[in-house]
Structure 1
Amino acid sequence: LLSEEEKDNLERLSKSRVWIIDPVDGTREYGEERTDWAVHVALAIDGRPEIGAIALPGLDLVLRTDRSLPLAPCPKTPRMVVSRTRPAKEALDVAEKISAELIPMGSAGAKAMAIVRGDAEIYLHTGGQYEWDSCAPAAVALAYGLHVSRIDGSPMTYNQADVYMPDLLICRPEWAERVLSLLG
């Protein structure tokens, strides 16, 4: 088990299956009684985000890897979710280059699920997170057929000794190549 709320047990590194949990992703939003916070539960298998669920209690919604639905049609003008308090410079630069509408939002899980739900097309984060911030969102996004990677295009790898993850891209497959090319 790896969780934001528990002391790290490095025995997990010898396991092929590790649960990665964030019981309250978006503590500030939760405390402000907003709807853009989430609960993350994921199972990483051999470093890959394979099984997961994201609860959005403020929306009375749970999105899961075993109950994915087809994506809605992709609009021509992209919408990009960004941090409502500290949007990343790289995300703002990409948004300007592709004329994306910016949607400020709280937790990483809420942002990623906005892409799954069809409320936005791109979530680009370069401000650093931890494995518990992105494992469940990555698992659910992959189950829905979305692109998930680091900003250099490499896969997200979990259950590492250093749980810090500097960046993340979750987006509609239609936008992945273009966004990655603007970052490279």
Structure 2
Amino acid sequence: MTQTQKLEEIEVIARSVGWGAANILSSYYQGEGDLKVNEDKKDGPVTAADLAANRYILEKLKAVFQEDTFGYLSEETHKGTEPIAKDWVWIIDPLDGTRDFIDKTGEYALHIALAYQGRPMVAVVAIPEAQKIYYASKGHGTFVETKDGKITPIKVSERNKLEDLYLVVSRTHRDDRFQALIEALPLKDKIYMGSVGGKIATLLEKTSDIYISLSGKSAAKDWDFAAPELILTEAGGKFTHENGDPIIYNRGDVRQWGCLIASNGHCHEELCEKATELLAKIDNQ
């Protein structure tokens, strides 16, 4: 069996787990369980839904992918600052966009990725309220599956001039530096979406073309990006640091500092150069 075939087999299992976890989140979202929100957590609120989905994902994956070979890096169970000493590591965000979940915007997601030596190889991003799962394995393309079992290959947009591109951003969470950057970029317009998974899904659905993460006092974490990165790149997009370097996961520090840019790929290098130039100007003001 080739590695591609093995990855496709793993992808089938991850998809099944993704649907199961999506159903758990959705049932809490629709009010079928006590949410028990903990607002005191340093990195943002945690709900009973996060914890229930996390338990389910870990239980299902560990039943198939033994811990002597596979590591597990999950937002809800992560501790310490050392990399997980395994080549194959599952990187999990059981509820991406917890604030959107609590505020009932519907714009939350869940991420499951399998990385090999720090790079994603299999990914599932579920958008429970859209009843969709986006999934990919390395070298096999990206697909979207709907609740009725219909599967469709999906690709990013063909828009290829900076002035024609749409940027997807959060409605909130923007510090002055990030606001200055996005206002200075010569883009067509902005659209708004909550979770990172939801934002990258808008690139796949061709309603946006660019997503930017810029760290400030804090930074996005490995589990925010690992699954969204692969579903984007396998659909023809690019996702890198602004200097073009690839994103490496499971380095010990789970925070992804700096400026990271996801795009439909057609103007990626130009966009990265422009962001670097603008940030230098902003930082020198």
5 Å-filtered alignment, 1:19-58, equals 19-58=90-129
When the two structures are aligned, how many residues end up with a matched partner?
184
5 Å-filtered alignment, 1:63-142, equals 63-66=134-137, 67=143, 68-74=153-159, 77-87=164-174, 89-90=177-178, 92-127=180-215, 128-142=219-233
Comparing 47-56 with 66-75, greater Cα deviation is found at 66-75
> Which of 141, 166, 173 pairs up with 2:265?
173
TM-fit CA distance, 1:12: 5.8
When residues 181 and 94 of structure 1 are mapped into structure 2, their CA distance, relative to the original with a 3 A threshold, is farther
Gaps of at least 5 residues in structure 2 are 1-71, 138-142, 144-152, 277-285
Match of 2:35 in 1: none
Match of 1:157 in 2: 248
Match of 2:149 in 1: none
Q: Give the TM-score taking structure 1 as reference length.
A: 0.90
How far apart are the structure 1 equivalents of 2:254 and 2:185? Answer: 31
Higher strand share: 1
How far apart are the structure 2 equivalents of 1:142 and 1:92? Answer: 27
SS of aligned partner of 1:73: coil
How far apart are the structure 2 equivalents of 1:43 and 1:4? Answer: 14
TM-fit CA distance, 1:11: 7.8
User: Deviation digits for residues 79-118 of structure 1, max 9, x if unmatched?
Assistant: 1011211235346524533133111221111111111221
Provide the aligned C-alpha RMSD in A: 2.0
How far apart are the structure 2 equivalents of 1:129 and 1:145? Answer: 23
Greater radius of gyration (CA): 2
User: Deviation digits for residues 129-183 of structure 1, max 9, x if unmatched?
Assistant: 0001111101111111111101221101011111110242110111201210112
When residues 7 and 172 of structure 1 are mapped into structure 2, their CA distance, relative to the original with a 3 A threshold, is closer
Comparing 105-114 with 68-77, greater Cα deviation is found at 68-77
2:82 touches 2:251 (CA, 8 Å); kept in 1?
Answer: no
> Which of 16, 19, 23 pairs up with 2:87?
16
> Which of 75, 83, 101 pairs up with 1:4?
75
How far apart are the structure 2 equivalents of 1:112 and 1:132? Answer: 14
Comparing 60-69 with 17-26, greater Cα deviation is found at 60-69
Match of 2:239 in 1: 148
Q: Give the TM-score taking structure 2 as reference length.
A: 0.60
Q: Equivalent pairs: percent with the same residue? A: 29
2:109 touches 2:195 (CA, 8 Å); kept in 1?
Answer: yes
When residues 165 and 126 of structure 1 are mapped into structure 2, their CA distance, relative to the original with a 3 A threshold, is same
1:36 touches 1:56 (CA, 8 Å); kept in 2?
Answer: yes
SS of aligned partner of 2:266: helix
Counterpart residue type for residue 112 of structure 2: V
